[in-house]
Structure 1
Amino acid sequence: MADPRASAGGVATSFDVVGASVVVPKTIVGDTVTFRYRSTRNARMTLILGGRTTSIAFPDSRGSLATVSSRVDVPAQGTLILQRNGDDSALGLDLDWVKVSG
């Protein structure tokens, strides 16, 4: 069950410019990163972790909350960056929370 208090009711928005990002420092170890989001169109951003990049697709959720997960090795005390790069598109994307598990 998701913890509705995890984001304190806030969301990260305004990913419509190149370089816009969310940084999660001091991660726990895991092999899956899950994002809870809402979007009004298909979006894509780049996950940067330990110098490696992974493209993350956020399907159009029609403005409703949804989740998307990606299998990626996450080290303890790592820094996770979700960033909009030049070949990404994130207009209409809001990020609610990020979870590392596994």
Structure 2
Amino acid sequence: MEIHWAYFAGFGSPFTLATFFAPNFLSKGLFAVFFPVFLLLSITSDPPEIPISSEYKLPLFRQSRWLSLQLLRRVSQISGVKQTKRQQPTKK
């Protein structure tokens, strides 16, 4: 999601706007009609491949990732489980 953020924003924006500005009963009907259509469109779409680089990446989950790692480190220290470093994938 951090890499393909523009695709997710473009996919979700029309759907959100259609249901947000409509009255409650009508928005539920729009949701029931549009959700399967948008789901099928997202399954059949083929977004262009872009090179993974930091200039296209939007770090949405940086804080939650950091917090989760800190929590796991604390649990690891308390439980006595040894940590292993994750190996970086090699580039071909």
TM-score by length of 2: 0.18
Higher share in helix: 2
Higher share in strand: 1
| Higher RCO (CA-CA < 8 Å; seq separation 6+) | 1
TM-score by length of 1: 0.17
